[in-house]
Amino acid sequence: MAQLELKQASIELDNSLKIMDQLSLSVAPGDFITILGGNGAGKSTLFNAITGNLRLTEGIIELNKTNITQLSEEKRATYIARVFQDPKNGTAPRMTVAENLALAMKRGEKRKIFKRREIKSNRDYFHDLCASIGNGLENHLDTPTGNLSGGQRQALSLLMATMKDPDLLLLDEHTAALDPKTAKQLMSLTQKFVTKKNLTCLMITHHMEDALNFGNRLIVLEKGCIKKDFNQEEKAKLQLEDLLRFF
Ligand SMILES: Nc1ncnc2c1ncn2[C@@H]1O[C@H](COP(=O)(O)OP(=O)(O)OP(=O)(O)O)[C@@H](O)[C@H]1O
């Protein structure tokens, strides 16, 4: 569980375009915040700023009261895990499920090379982890992830992102490429992991129902700023029509 703080964070491009504009956000430990916003509102930019993929040109980012504004993306990855929209993004396609899990176990370590015997000794653990998902992944420990379905691959990405209890979990439209049934299953799994592990989580989504049904807080972004920040009480009263006003 982590506390995240963005203080008047801006990102100005070389052409003077501000894709993040004096954004301030305070995330409490255990917050599960859903994030909405139209195309180009700055949702991925916010995540890129948090992970260090994009550097702030102004402002400060603190994680657990430590200033991480100048910390490299690689170092931040020790504490921050991200699941992307594209199932191809989270796993190495030619590596098997077990190999990907062995790699995920190394998150935060300098040398991210696993040894064969580590896969052997952790096989039962990997099997049980995969079985907990409930989509048959445990029968594919030796399958290259490129041969899995999109849903299985996204579930594996989520498993890999959460297996070492990250301080912060960033979900970047992680159900967007899945069919409705599989997307629903992945959201149930997400809720299960977030609750069980007490994770601090930010989730970008274009599904307004998911934004309403999950999490304890809801943020609407526009033009690189926070347009609206609904707390738990306000969010509980929100209806779909209220959100449609923002688009
Ligand atoms: N690295 C970059 N270089 C130049 N422009 C960028 C960069 N990253 C983002 N932008 C611009 O910043 C704006 C916000 O983009 P961003 O990807 O954050 O939007 P988004 O809210 O995630 O949109 P979508 O819902 O379409 O994914 C867009 O105009 C985009 O073109």
Task: Please spell the DSSP secondary structure of 108-130, one letter per residue.
Answer: T-S-----HHHHHHTHHHHHHHH
Distance in Å, CA 45 to ligand 1 centroid: 6
Instruction: Extract the tokens encoding 85.
Output: 């929209």
Number of domains in the chain: 2
Nearest CA to ligand 1 atom 4: 13
Looking at 130, 165, 200, the residue that finishes a domain is 165
| Any atom of ligand 1 within 6 Å of the Cβ of 43 | yes
Q: What is residue 101's DSSP assignment?
A: H
Mean pLDDT by 10 residues, the chain (247 residues): 93 93 97 96 97 97 96 94 90 92 84 77 94 91 94 94 95 94 93 95 96 97 96 95 88
Quick one: 68 and 171 in the same domain?
Answer: yes
| Any atom of ligand 1 within 6 Å of the Cβ of 55 | no
Quick one: 21 and 46 in the same domain?
Answer: yes
What's the predicted TM-score (pTM) here?
0.94
| Any atom of ligand 1 within 6 Å of the Cβ of 42 | yes
pLDDT of residue 224: 96
Quick one: 136 and 235 in the same domain?
Answer: no
Distance in Å, CA 42 to ligand 1 centroid: 6
Looking at 144, 165, 186, the residue that finishes a domain is 165
| Any atom of ligand 1 within 6 Å of the Cβ of 39 | yes
Distance in Å, CA 233 to ligand 1 centroid: 31
Question: How far apart, in whole angstroms, are the C-alpha atoms of residue 92 and residue 97?
Answer: 9
pLDDT of residue 192: 95
Full domain range(s) for residue 141: 93-165
pLDDT of residue 134: 86
| Any atom of ligand 1 within 6 Å of the Cβ of 13 | yes
Flag whether 156 is in a domain.
Answer: yes
**Own/partner long-range contacts of 137-140 (Cβ < 8 Å, ≥24 apart):** 137/97, 140/97
Looking at 165, 191, 214, the residue that finishes a domain is 165
Question: ipTM of the predicted structure?
Answer: 0.95
Quick one: 73 and 107 in the same domain?
Answer: no
| Any atom of ligand 1 within 6 Å of the Cβ of 91 | no
Alpha helices in the chain (DSSP H): 43-51, 73-76, 97-104, 116-121, 123-131, 150-162, 180-196, 208-213, 232-237, 240-244
Flag whether 199 is in a domain.
Answer: yes
Nearest CA to ligand 1 atom 8: 45
Quick one: 53 and 97 in the same domain?
Answer: no
Quick one: 58 and 72 in the same domain?
Answer: yes
pLDDT of residue 108: 72
